[in-house]
Amino acid sequence: MEKPYVIGIDMGGTNTSFGIIDTRGEVIRRGAIKTQKFAEADQYIEELHATLEPLIEEVGGIDKIKGIGMGAPNGNFYTGNVEFAPNLPWKGVIPFAEMLHTTFGVSAALTNDANAAAIGEMTYGAARGMKDFIMITLGTGVGSGIVINGQLVYGHDGFAGELGHTTIVRNNGRQCGCGKTGCLETYTSATGVARTAREMLEMRKDDSILRNIPLESITSKDVFDAAMAGDIIAKEIFEYTGRVLGEAFADFIAFSAPEAIIIFGGLAKAGNLIMNPIRESMEKNVLPIWKGKVKLLFSALNEADAAILGASALAWELKN
C-alpha cells in the first residue's frame, strides 16, 4: 500500500519547525525545536528524532511514513548537504539528508528553503497545474525557487535560483552580505526596506510617523504599520521597493517567460501596498510580447505551514 504520510522539516537559523503531512497537504501533527541550541549537528538530529518519534507513533509508526523532506539554508538537492550556511551554528558541509535517512530509517531529501517553498506552491498552492513559474521569497533575505517545464531548476551544481543576488543597482549599490554590491536583496528584503526607510528619513525633511522611532531600530513592520496609517514616506518606501522588484521581475521574465511570479514571505503581507507598484513597474519594464500576460500572485499557502508543506512535498517525489 502507498504510505499515507510524509514529514516536512523547515530548518531556520533560529527555529526548526516540522510536521507530519497527509496526501491532501494537511499538517496532522506538528512541533518545533531550537536550531541554535545544539553545538553539534548530530545532537540536533537526535533531538529532532526524539521529538518526532512520539508523533510518528501516534499516526501509526514509521511504516506509514514515505519519506522526509527538509528545507534548509544553503541546502543542496543534488548532494543532500547543507554547505557553508552563514546563519547556522554548524560550519562546513553537513550531510543532513544522509543523517536523517540513517536516524529515521526512511528516505530523505533536502533543498534550500526557497526551493522548498516553490515545490510546496506547485503541490498545494497557487502554482498547482503550472509548469513555469518563479517563486520569490521576501523575508530577512530574498530567495527564489524557479520551476521550468514542471521541474525545479537546480542548475549544474545544485545552487541555481539565487535571484536575490542579481544586481539591481550597478554603481554605488548597497553592500550585500554576499560580498557584492547592489544585489536585489539589499533593496527588497525586510532589512532592505528598513534600510530604505533610514535613508529616506535622513534625506527628507517632511513629517512621518516613522520619526517617532529611533532610526537604527526601524523595521519593515514599522514601515508597514505607518503606511497602513496613511504615512506618506512609508507609502513611498513601499512604492520604491515595489518598483525595484518590478524592474527585476521584468528581467526574470525575459529569461524564462513564466506563467506567474509568486510572492511569499513577510513583505507579501503588505498586500497591494507592495503589489501595485510591483505590477506597474513590471509591466513598464517587460518586453511588449509579455505585457499583461504574466500573472503576479501571492502565495496561497498558509504562512505558518508553508515552509513545512514545501519541504514535505519534496518527500512525495522520493523514490523509496
The residues binding a copy of itself (CB under 8 A) are: 130-132, 146, 148-149, 151, 153-163, 165-170, 178-180, 247, 250-252, 254-259, 285, 287-290, 293
C-beta of 169: minimal distance to a copy of itself in Å? Answer: 7
CA distance 130 to 150: 7
By the 8 A CB rule, do 148 and 134 touch?
no
16 versus 188: smaller Cβ distance to a copy of itself: 188
C-beta of 60: minimal distance to a copy of itself in Å? Answer: 36
Question: Residues with Cβ < 8 Å from 45, sequence gap 6 or more?
Answer: 96, 99, 100, 103
C-beta of 80: minimal distance to a copy of itself in Å? Answer: 17
C-beta of 157: minimal distance to a copy of itself in Å? Answer: 6
By the 8 A CB rule, do 31 and 51 touch?
yes
C-beta of 247: minimal distance to a copy of itself in Å? Answer: 7
At 68, which amino acid appears?
Answer: I
134 versus 270: smaller Cβ distance to a copy of itself: 134
Closest CA to 271 of 224, 307, 230, 233: 224
159 versus 221: smaller Cβ distance to a copy of itself: 159
- What are the respective helix, strand and coil percentages of the chain, to the nearest 5? 45, 20, 35
203 versus 289: smaller Cβ distance to a copy of itself: 289
86 versus 271: smaller Cβ distance to a copy of itself: 86
